[in-house]
Chain A
Amino acid sequence: MLPTPDTSHVPFSRVYEPSEDSYLLLDTLSAPAETAFLHARFQGHPPLVLEVGTGSGVVIAFVVAQAAHLFGRRDILAAGVDVNPFACRATNDTVRKAQVDHPGTHAPCWLGADVGDLAAPLPPGKVDILLFNPPYVPSEALPSLPPDAAAPSDLAGLAYSLSNLTDRTPSFDGDSYLLALSYAGGRDGMETTSRLVESLPDILSARGCAYILLCAQNKPDDVKARVGRLGPSWRALTVGESGNKAGWEKLQVIRISKDNVRDRRES
Chain B
Amino acid sequence: MKVISLNFLTCAVKSCKSSGAAFPLHPKDAELVQDDIELNAQMLLNILPRLDWAALRTNATELGFPELPAELPTREALEADEKKLKDLHHLLVETQIMEGKLVCRNCGHEYAIREGIANFLLPSHLV
Interface residues of A (CB under 8 A from B): 46, 48, 73-75, 77, 79, 81, 83, 85, 88-89, 92, 108-117, 120-124, 126, 145-154, 202
Contacts and interface: CB of A to CB of B under 8 A. Distances in A.
Interface in B1-24: 1-2, 4-5, 8-10, 12, 17, 23
Interface string B92-119: 0100000000000000000010111111
Interface of B: 1-2, 4-5, 8-10, 12, 17, 23, 37, 40, 42-43, 46-47, 50, 93, 112, 114-124
A48 B51 CA distance: 11
Contacts of A154: 114
A123 B52 CA distance: 11
Contacts of A150: 119
B38 to A, nearest CB: 8
Contact of B5 (A46, A111, A151): A111
A123 B119 contact: no
B117 A109 contact: no
A92 B116 CA distance: 10
Given A46-B47, A111-B4, A153-B115, A123 B121 contact: no
Contact of A46 (B10, B23, B50): B50
A83 B12 CA distance: 13
B47 A109 contact: yes
Contact of A115 (B37, B47, B120): B120
A73 B123 CA distance: 40
Contacts of B23: 123
Nearest to A117: B121
B5 A112 contact: yes
30 contacts: A46-B46, A48-B8, A73-B46, A74-B40, A77-B47, A77-B50, A83-B121, A85-B119, A89-B115, A108-B93, A111-B4, A111-B8, A114-B117, A114-B119, A114-B120, A115-B117, A115-B119, A116-B119, A121-B10, A121-B120, A123-B10, A123-B23, A145-B121, A147-B123, A147-B124, A148-B119, A148-B121, A151-B114, A152-B115, A152-B117
Contacts of B123: 147-148
Contact of A116 (B8, B115, B121): B121
A153 B117 contact: no
A108 B41 CA distance: 12
Contact of A75 (B2, B47, B119, B121): B47
A120 B12 CA distance: 5
Given A77-B4, A152-B115, 19 more contacts: A73-B46, A74-B43, A75-B47, A79-B5, A83-B121, A89-B115, A109-B4, A111-B2, A112-B5, A112-B117, A114-B118, A115-B118, A115-B120, A116-B12, A126-B8, A147-B124, A149-B121, A151-B115, A153-B114
